[in-house]
Structure 1
């Protein structure tokens, strides 16, 4: 089992004996929080494979049952993700990793094998795509599902040594293309430091005209456990793609302090600054794209997100009030001192204090959006479900209260009977968001019309 200090700077991998006694097998120590994965027991429990970021990247280590390190199995400037299988006879480990292949998006996942002696690291599914694999129980075969946001998905069957057996299926998108669909456009920009590479995707209207100018809207999620950037083609792209069809350029882009699939430094960049850490990069990305593409109007910038993205989009309006003009913020954790331990405390950090009597207390304080309510200049729509059991509605209500006390005009949408994902009111919220950006970024919407005819067209008529 794993046991940790509350601040996650100390994690021990512990063996518990039948008589209840314990033995520490591995000690992990860090000056920021740590991630941990379940170890793989091999060779009848006499060895195990442990995942660690101790050298700044996620890698695998082979230990004996007494906690003695036998071999570091992988190393280098890339991230190992999940163990997918093993071959004890061949003393081989199978796993997924990203960031190893040159001239690829570092988020693209691949399947690899490596010997228990750390030798013969082999790429099993080459190709400049994001790969999702499903490995057979025997580890002799795997199914490889691969695509990019701008490619047609394919599925193929492989042997464990990486030899392709057959193509199983290739998606048919002909009807989608016939309807006028165009793939989104991946891009790369620099972070606010001018050094770190950030990766994103740009979505355009179906009738895009490069001689015209368009407002730009950023769809965001700050991490640190993930980023709102799609790597592969799939249905999760639909709401971002649909939002662009109102007549806007919509982008998603990473930020320092985001996805754990990069280096540990990248992942923990926001430690101790959980409100503002990603905002500079969002601003820098939009500015660089506007310099690169004349069809982007940098004077009309919107931002939207849900949950952590709701928190971040409101923060963007308050930290950079002259840059971000419009925001739609859904279910935001605007005051992280009343949010949960897993997201807020873990990723921001907590201070442990021991009194002279030996009593231990923990304190942490994360900068709140409500503290900056006086900074609001643009148009802001805050939305929440009234029975959200993830981000408590009090987060949004406190934000509303702060804006009222600051004498600000804004909009607030309460979705009755809805939890964190907005349930059967998700579509209503989408069109409300579309109206809001259309009105205040484009200047042309149906926001003053009572009936949402777009939704009504999709509702089957009762007989």
Structure 2
């Protein structure tokens, strides 16, 4: 009886034990060693040797660059006339001089890691660069002097002859002679919120001066920026006692009054200010959602005549549907509109630079347009304003106009999709005749080419690579692309020794089942095809860029490989609505920013899972930062059955609360009627009731790019909908998390391990930022 009575209980215990064992077998073990392996790969770029960076031409015959190996960085200069390459400075002497000059104390600048910014040659043949947020000048013997520090309120914009710099003080424009330090005030009527050359796009606000110096350095083209009626943005810091208020001008979509500019030309020797005879212009650009977006600062859509007597510029309408090419007589201020372009969606002038040119020598202009559905160059007559002919034609885009030589009538440009059979995102260098004809390819390797053209257009440095193949850097002839010399050839031996494995490029079909999409997949270095892996989508939806972020070689792609090391398949897919392809591809969801490429992400992940049995689509996660933070939250709310976990950093969850020039460019004018608007659908908080999975909202409390209130709007709606969610507000952090980046990454890893993989991460793994 006793045995009989206990048998069912024993059987039940055995069943529970078996079930428990089965569950344990399915639960991944994520160990400290896994995290250490992921940690090692997170900041692995220094393990790539001889990948040339920071190439800068000092003049037509000298360029400088940074080379790197296991011993550290080396700052080198090549003389193309002699072919000789040598260190630009004695690194030990320069480090010692900078440490003395900047009083670096217990954090000295090291000779093997100088950390110098872009180098320019001054008029007296000294070298000017930024280091530790300070501008300095040094001669060849490492005798250095401080120009100004980032903390100083008056950073300068260097003149063409490199003898002076313009800066803003008390809302007015000044110039400083570099040799003597003499300062001259050029304007006198600038006041708060109506100052000269001031830099404020709302999402970006600095103390630098936005100017374009004339070729003879006697004139400055700039503007008086009118923000007197522009709305404010407010943030407060976190501290003991009364918080400190930050306040600045930050226009929003739909605002009746937004920032405007009044264009002026200033004669430096006489201090005469000539206001151009035109109505105030929009604070807009053909290139991005600011008037200064190029890598070298300056004013993108303003170009001087070589004789400094005339000025060409492009005005852009508030919603970017119209662009007007104009020429100003700088002596009289008279302005003439030469031609214009209207598009139904939004006009832009390429990627990287404003790809138009002013050629008064031949009374012509080179103009960029996507009117054929591809980004091409066109030649216009400046007298009649009529189109002469297309310079480039066919499929593929001009992405960046680098140089025009009106004498040889040659144009050099970077382009994508123009060579059949290679990845349409690979950038290559071309040259073409202004008079038409087939362009000549100067970089034939099927790779992504990063080029730096010499000032005279005779040579260029070309670093070419792919996602899986490290770079080779060559000096080449700009006439025909022939190799002049090899600069460096990257070596990834140390990277491989650290456990790096190459990512896997792939293609999938878009939402329409026809359009080819390109992406990159990251698998664990100990990948086992017999296992099933959860999948995480890293997303940045654009519209100004995509998730993959370039096709050149990178040791790390954000932390995609590191996350994969913890037992995930990680993918990045450039969906429709992102640039570099056709205009219609880019405009796929213009006016519907709620789209966020999500239909393509889901379609692509489903195709990959059907193709690879080791992808477990029942465990799909997604994460992103900024626009990706918006998109990842939208993903889990719009596809609650598909995405189980979302990690959303610093998201612009409702673009009605983000700066005006972003959404007004891609969503269009905010139109309200009967209590509703065409912006309603893109607001993530309106979908809070759909949440089923795990959502983490992350935001810095001093984010002066995307205000933290946009994440709080989503949190408020989730609370009202009685939803469980997670939130991490980072005190005093900006849009990027700075020194706390590693902490946020570790928390992100933990979140996916717990909630998507069902594992337990090691307790409070101490992920650290790299040390200088």
TM normalised by structure 2 equals 0.56
The whole-number CA distance in structure 1 between the counterparts of 2:661 and 2:670 is 15
Deviation of the 1:364 alpha carbon: 5.1
Q: Deviations over 1:390-424 (max 9, x none)?
A: 10000001111100110011100011110001111
Give distance in 2, aligned partners of 1:72 and 1:330. Answer: 44
Alpha carbons 1:200, 1:252 under 8 Å: kept: yes
| 3-state SS of 2:666 partner | helix
Structure 1 Cα separation of the partners of residues 473 and 635 of structure 2: 40
Task: Work out whether 1:280 is the aligned partner of 2:608.
Answer: no
Determine if contact 1:7/1:351 at 8 Å carries over to the other structure: no
| 1:26-45: CA deviation from partner (whole Å, max 9, x where unpaired) | 21111111113352123626
Counterpart of 1:34 in structure 2 is 347
Q: Distance in 1 between matches of 2:473 and 2:650?
A: 36
One of 636, 645, 667 as aligned partner of 1:326: 645
CA drift of 1:290 comes to 0.3
Partner of 2:586: 267
**Relative to structure 2, which stretch is displaced further, 212-221 or 79-88?**
79-88
Q: Does structure 1 conserve the Cα–Cα contact (< 8 Å) formed by 2:356 and 2:401?
A: no
Shift of 1:65: 2.3
Counterparts of 1:22-421 in structure 2, within 5 Å, are 22-36=335-349, 37-42=354-359, 44=361, 46-66=363-383, 67-160=385-478, 161-229=480-548, 230-235=550-555, 237-259=557-579, 261-350=580-669, 365-367=679-681, 368-421=683-736
5 Å-filtered alignment, 1:413-432, equals 413-432=728-747
1:182: Cα distance to partner? 0.9
Instruction: Summarize deviations over 1:166-206 as a string: whole Å, max 9, x none.
Output: 22111111011122211000000000110111100001111
- Give the CA deviation at 1:69: 1.8
Give structure 2 stretches of 5+ with no counterpart: 1-312
Q: Contact 2:532–2:613 (CA<8 Å) still a contact in 1?
A: yes
Report the CA distance between 1:235 and its aligned residue.
4.8
How many Å apart are 1:336 and its aligned residue? 1.1
In the alignment, the residues of structure 2 paired with residue 148 and residue 276 of structure 1 have an alpha-carbon distance, to the nearest angstrom, of: 30
For 2:613 and 2:770, the matched residues in 1 are separated by 39
- Max Rg structure: 2
Give the distance between the partners of 2:451 and 2:471, measured in 1 at CA.
13
Give how far 1:71 is off: 2.0
Give deviations 1:287-346, integer Å, cap 9, x for gaps. 000011111001010000000000000000011100001000000011111111222121
Per the alignment, in what secondary structure is the counterpart of residue 443 of structure 1? coil
Residues 699 and 711, structure 2, Cα contact 8 Å, conserved in 1:
yes
Residue in 1 aligned with 2:759?
444
Find the counterpart in structure 2 of residue 356 from structure 1: none
Q: Matched residues in 2 for 1:162 and 1:319: separation?
A: 49
Whether the 8 Å contact between 1:189 and 1:198 is mirrored in structure 2 is: yes
Distance 1:420 1:330 in 2: 9
Q: Cα distance 1:351–1:305, how it changes in 2: closer, same or farther (>3 A)?
A: closer
SS of the residue aligned with 1:438? helix
Preserved CA contact (<8 Å) 1:304 1:313? yes
- Asked if 1 retains the 8 angstrom alpha-carbon contact of 2:700 and 2:735, the reply is yes
Report SS of the residue matched to 1:301.
Answer: strand
Distance of 2:481 and 2:741 partners within structure 1: 42
Please give the alpha-carbon distance, in whole angstroms, between the structure 1 residues aligned to 2:317 and 2:420.
38
Task: Determine if the alignment matches structure 1 residue 2 to structure 2 residue 314.
Answer: yes
Q: Which residue of 1 aligns with 2:131?
A: none
Q: 1:358: which partner in 2?
A: none
Determine helix, strand or coil for the equivalent of 2:643. coil
CA pair 270-459 structure 1, distance change in 2 beyond 3 A: closer
| Cα offset, 1:442, TM superposition | 1.1
1:250-295 deviations in Å (ceiling 9; x for gaps): 0100111112x11111111121210125110010010000011111
Q: 1:13 maps to what in 2?
A: 325
How much has 1:243 moved relative to structure 2? 1.5
Is the 1:52–1:61 contact (alpha carbons within 8 Å) kept by the matching residues of 2? yes
Q: Which runs of 5+ in 1 are unaligned?
A: 354-362
Deviation at 1:389, TM superposition (A): 0.4
Query: How many aligned positions are there?
Result: 446
SS in 2 for 1:453: coil
- For the Cα contact (< 8 Å) 2:355–2:401, is it kept in 1? no
Does the CA contact (< 8 Å) of 1:273 and 1:366 recur in 2? no
Q: CA deviation at 1:238?
A: 4.5
Structure 1: distance between partners of 2:458 and 2:328? 33
Distance 2:657 2:558 in 1: 32
Separation in 2 of the partners of 1:219 and 1:352? 32
SS state at 1:237 partner: coil
**Aligned mates of 1:334, 1:430 — CA distance in 2:** 21
Aligned to 1:357: none
